Chain A
């Protein structure tokens, strides 16, 4: 187990490992995404109140769930890189940020598209939407901080500190936004039928959530590989790997 972890810290090992994983993950994820979309969009029953418009849930909820989990992945990678100075953890942290930001963006956009027919407005200052928007800002902050440093090793450390600070703060932000929402008491906006979702709708949703986790892992691995190609382009191992 520990030898495996140590090996993962070395770029050549990781590169080979990622190549093998991607070879299996790519078809699996594509298949799961396709199956989940077809099942959710065509075969799941329409909602009795929202009709077919609820089907965007099969993109919206998985994106939101994975976006939030992605921040924790980034923070844990940052912690690992700060404590154990493992270079690959730096790379992982960098690779997660744009993927997480993109998923947050997808969640926000699909939320807006879903909100229009359901609530009659593109944007509503709902607690969850606002929390997601702040999560988006947190991702953007990490990415901007990374770009601002010329020394990329220092940039990775700074981003690790920032993402850890964000992790401490995220529960407080979520709770405070909840209270803010109840303070404002906007009328008549409720998520319909989310708590009591029927199994025929739930299973495709779970499949899509799983598929999005796979997609997240896939994109992060591809990102990390691209990063390694850039930083190690002079190394002998990479040349022999590419031959």
Chain B
């Protein structure tokens, strides 16, 4: 990457992060959502710790997927509304890079935070302790994939009035592999086996997505901006 592009990416990420940090509520709300939905599962499934431990990898991952989706509907919204996105599209720097910066900062603030908080949820659901490092690692990699997929959906729906539900409809089918690989890794670790195969698949998805998804998101943004 030419140095000025790296600089551009860094500035953009810094801009998003500092804007987000001025509204800390937006960072904590997804966590509260996560906590609430995790609370619903014992209420629905019954408090039996064995049952919960059995379902824990699936529960944590499905909730992570949902909370990542709800957040990603706002992904390009602020920049779209105040016209920054149009300026970025007209700038000489590739729009894909701007989209990538948006995804990366979104991931740092939602996915990574979620992964850091996930041991608490794992403990609430009685997940075996040896699975927790795998859970965190799989969430770090997996939420990056989810943010990237969400970015494509968000880019295509940013200009639409009722984009929220549509976004879920568009992105949920695309996130199926992430869920399968993520739950696979955690389940494997909970049973005491080596989860590195599943984690490698997640990593491959994240790496491939990081290359391709910003291009698709940029194409979607150009359509939404009518450029």
Chain A residue numbers with a CB within 8 Å of B163 are 148
Chain A-chain B contacts (Cβ-Cβ < 8 Å), number: 73
Report the count of interface residues on A (CB-CB < 8 A): 29
Is the pair B173, A134 in contact by a Cβ cutoff of 8 Å?
A: yes
Is the pair B223, A173 in contact by a Cβ cutoff of 8 Å?
A: no
| Residue-wise interface mask of A (48-69) relative to B, using a CB-CB cutoff of 8 A (1 in contact, 0 not) | 0000000000000000000000
Report the count of interface residues on B (CB-CB < 8 A): 27
Is the pair A157, B223 in contact by a Cβ cutoff of 8 Å?
A: yes
Is the pair B170, A145 in contact by a Cβ cutoff of 8 Å?
A: yes
Chain A residue numbers with a CB within 8 Å of B189 are none
Cα–Cα distance between A149 and B181 once the two chains are bound (Å): 34
Is the pair B212, A137 in contact by a Cβ cutoff of 8 Å?
A: no
Is the pair A148, B160 in contact by a Cβ cutoff of 8 Å?
A: yes
| Residue-wise interface mask of A (171-189) relative to B, using a CB-CB cutoff of 8 A (1 in contact, 0 not) | 0110111011001000000
Cα–Cα distance between A110 and B215 once the two chains are bound (Å): 39
Among A137, A161, A168, A183, contact of B173 (Cβ-Cβ < 8 Å): A137
Known A-B contacts A148-B157, A161-B219; A140 and B180 likewise in contact (beta carbons under 8 Å): no
Chain A residue numbers with a CB within 8 Å of B169 are 137, 140-141, 144
Any B CB within 8 A of the CB of A151: yes
Is the pair B174, A166 in contact by a Cβ cutoff of 8 Å?
A: yes
Is the pair B176, A176 in contact by a Cβ cutoff of 8 Å?
A: yes
Chain B residue numbers with a CB within 8 Å of A157 are 223
Of listed A164, A166, A176, residue having the most chain B CB within 10 A? A176
Any A CB within 8 A of the CB of B152: yes
Any A CB within 8 A of the CB of B22: no
Is the pair B216, A154 in contact by a Cβ cutoff of 8 Å?
A: no
Chain B residue numbers with a CB within 8 Å of A151 are 226
Any B CB within 8 A of the CB of A18: no
Is the pair A179, B184 in contact by a Cβ cutoff of 8 Å?
A: yes
- CB-CB contacts below 8 Å: A105-131 with B: none
Chain B residue numbers with a CB within 8 Å of A38 are none
Distance to closest chain B CB from A85 (angstroms): 13
Is the pair B212, A168 in contact by a Cβ cutoff of 8 Å?
A: yes
Is the pair A138, B223 in contact by a Cβ cutoff of 8 Å?
A: no
Any B CB within 8 A of the CB of A3: no
Any B CB within 8 A of the CB of A169: yes
Is the pair B176, A161 in contact by a Cβ cutoff of 8 Å?
A: no
Any A CB within 8 A of the CB of B166: yes
Chain B residue numbers with a CB within 8 Å of A180 are 180, 184
Known A-B contacts A148-B160, A148-B162; A161 and B170 likewise in contact (beta carbons under 8 Å): no
Any A CB within 8 A of the CB of B146: no
Closest to A178 in B: B180
Is the pair B184, A158 in contact by a Cβ cutoff of 8 Å?
A: no
Distance to closest chain A CB from B77 (angstroms): 16
Any B CB within 8 A of the CB of A42: no
Closest to A157 in B: B223
Cα–Cα distance between A10 and B166 once the two chains are bound (Å): 33
Known A-B contacts A154-B226, A166-B174; A161 and B216 likewise in contact (beta carbons under 8 Å): yes
List residues of chain B with CB under 8 Å of any chain A CB: 152, 156-157, 160, 162-163, 166, 169-170, 172-174, 176-177, 180-181, 184, 187, 201, 205, 212, 216, 219-220, 223-224, 226
Top 4 A-B residue pairs of the complex, sorted by shortest distance between their CB atoms: A176-B177, A137-B173, A180-B180, A176-B180
List residues of chain A with CB under 8 Å of any chain B CB: 82, 134, 137-138, 140-141, 144-145, 148-149, 151, 154, 157-158, 161-162, 164-166, 168-169, 172-173, 175-177, 179-180, 183
Q: Can you list 13 residue pairs at the A/B interface with Cβ under 8 Å?
A: A141-B173, A145-B166, A149-B160, A151-B226, A158-B224, A161-B156, A164-B216, A165-B216, A166-B173, A173-B173, A173-B174, A176-B177, A177-B180
